[in-house]
Amino acid sequence: MATRKNADAILNAQAMDDSLPDGKYLTSPKWGYSERRVVIKDGNVSLINGRKHEFSQSYFFEVNDVLEILPLLP
């Protein structure tokens, strides 16, 4: 079983404040372990999986931890 990564406290605080800069982030639900990649653009969060679901940062990150910033490469 994979070890759960710790959330980044600074990134989490920015997410809850709707102030994460545009970019790609690795997140994980606060309960359980299922990492997901998200992209933030213009203050909205979208899942990186081809779907166009959008969430406000504070709503999405109330139930997710921000683990790290991802490179912008495709």
- State how far Cα 52 lies from the chain centre: 15
Confidence check: pLDDT of 63 > 90: no
Whether residue 2 is predicted with pLDDT greater than 80 in this model: the reply is no
Average pLDDT, the chain: 84
User: What mean pLDDT do residues 45-72 have?
Assistant: 82
Residue 57 has pLDDT above 90, yes or no: no
Residue 36 and residue 47 in contact, taking contact as beta carbons nearer than 8 Å: yes
Q: Is pLDDT above 70 for 53?
A: no
